[in-house]
């Protein structure tokens, strides 16, 4: 039931690109992406709603394919500050009571 | 984004005692708050969902008599870990959602260590 993320871990050099995938076995209404640094709470990155939309700000963007029940997070020209663990949170319906089930996580390390 | 606070940020307690953790939404009304637990190097596991003024909904496997949740107002939810044991040691994080948005904003977390 927990969404599966791939890869589990990735090491990049500054300026390189990365793609993180999130795959669910259930129909999705929304996908929420977060980044968590060690010992801190997750920080909200973006949310995608069903409709197959794509979103982005700065050098981070994401897509959502509701038919495939998958979402991907794209990090371009990575910076040191991008390091952390990325989680997707999947929701099955709309509204503020929409509980999220978090994926397995992807550890991203950006090196100078 | 919205601001959510948690208190305390860390707590050490003895086995058998109870610990209360507060979660506050500072600049918006949170109709729903969520409580998560995270063990080292693992994902966030949802414990319960609480709506203001009603009983919390617990996830399967979470003991509601052990983890007491109260959502007394639109800005405050509390989690009380009763009769804590060393296996309850974990990072507890709350999140809040409300209004027309379904984004969840997380508090900074509370690290609980039970000795």
What is B2-49 written as a DSSP string? Answer: --EEEE-SEEEE-TT--EEEEEEESSS--SEEEEEEE-TTS--EEEEE
- Statement: residue A11 has pLDDT above 70: yes
Task: Flag whether residue A100 sits within 8 Å of chain B, measured between CB atoms.
Answer: yes
- Statement: residue A55 has pLDDT above 90: no
> pLDDT value at position A111?
96
- Statement: residue A56 has pLDDT above 80: no
> pLDDT value at position A97?
65
List chain B residues with pLDDT less than 50. Answer: none
Cα–Cα distance measured from residue A60 to residue A64, given in angstroms and rounded to the nearest whole number: 14
> pLDDT value at position B62?
95
> pLDDT value at position B88?
96
Which of the 8 DSSP states describes residue A2?
P
Closest CA to A77 of A15, A20, A14: A15
Average pLDDT of A45-53?
81
* Contact between B46 and A34 using a beta-carbon 8 Å cutoff: no
Chain A residue nearest residue B49, CA to CA: A99
Which tokens belong to A41?
């709470």
Task: Return phi, psi of residue A97, to 5°.
Answer: -85, 5
Which of the 8 DSSP states describes residue B103?
-
* Contact between B46 and A101 using a beta-carbon 8 Å cutoff: yes
CA–CA distances in Å: residue B76 to residues A48, B18, B29: 28, 19, 9
The b-or-e profile of B77-113 (16+ CB within 10 A means b, else e) is bbbebeebeeebbbbbbbbbbbeeebbbbbbebbbbe
- The C-alpha of A112 sits at a distance from chain B's nearest C-alpha, in angstroms, of 24
> pLDDT value at position B115?
96
* Contact between A44 and B98 using a beta-carbon 8 Å cutoff: no
> pLDDT value at position A16?
97
* Contact between A100 and B34 using a beta-carbon 8 Å cutoff: yes
**pLDDT one-digit tens code per residue, A67-112:** 889 999 999 999 999 999 999 999 877 665 678 999 999 999 999 9
Chain B residue nearest residue A46, CA to CA: B103
Instruction: For residue B36, list chain A residues with Cβ-Cβ distance below 8 A.
Output: 102
> pLDDT value at position A58?
76
- The C-alpha of B42 sits at a distance from chain A's nearest C-alpha, in angstroms, of 7
Alpha-carbon dihedral sign for residues B96, B113, A85, A23: negative
CB-closest option in B1, B34, B99 to A99: B34
Closest CA to A108 of A6, A33, A9: A9
> pLDDT value at position A68?
87
Instruction: For residue A2, list chain B residues with Cβ-Cβ distance below 8 A.
Output: 43
Task: Flag whether residue B44 sits within 8 Å of chain A, measured between CB atoms.
Answer: yes
Bridge partners of residue A21, in order along the sequence: A6, A72
Residue where the block lists tokens 């990365």: A18
Chain A residue nearest residue B4, CA to CA: A41
Cα–Cα distance measured from residue B38 to residue A25, given in angstroms and rounded to the nearest whole number: 22
């Amino acid at each position: 039931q927990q969404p599966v993320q791939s890869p589990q871990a990735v090491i990049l050099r500054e300026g390189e690109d990365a793609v993180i995938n999130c795959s669910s076995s259930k129909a999705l209404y929304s996908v929420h992406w977060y980044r968590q640094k060690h010992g801190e709470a997750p920080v909200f990155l973006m949310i995608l709603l069903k409709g197959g939309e794509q979103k982005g700000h700065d050098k981070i963007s994401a897509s959502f394919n509701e038919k495939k029940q998958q979402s991907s997070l794209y990090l371009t020209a990575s910076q040191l500050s991008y390091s952390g663990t990325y989680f997707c949170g999947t929701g099955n319906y709309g509204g503020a009571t929409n509980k999220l089930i978090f994926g397995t996580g992807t550890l991203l390390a950006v090196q100078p | 984004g919205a601001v959510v606070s948690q208190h305390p940020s860390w707590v050490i307690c003895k086995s058998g005692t109870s610990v209360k953790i507060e979660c506050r939404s500072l600049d918006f009304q949170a109709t729903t708050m969520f409580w998560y637990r995270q063990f080292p190097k693992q994902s966030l596991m949802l414990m319960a969902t609480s709506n203001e003024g009603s009983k919390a909904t617990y996830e399967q496997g979470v003991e509601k008599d052990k983890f007491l949740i109260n959502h007394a107002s639109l800005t405050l939810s509390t989690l009380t870990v009763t009769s804590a044991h060393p296996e309850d040691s974990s990072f507890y994080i709350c999140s809040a959602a409300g209004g027309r948005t379904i984004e969840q904003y997380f508090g900074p977390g509370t690290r609980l260590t039970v000795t």
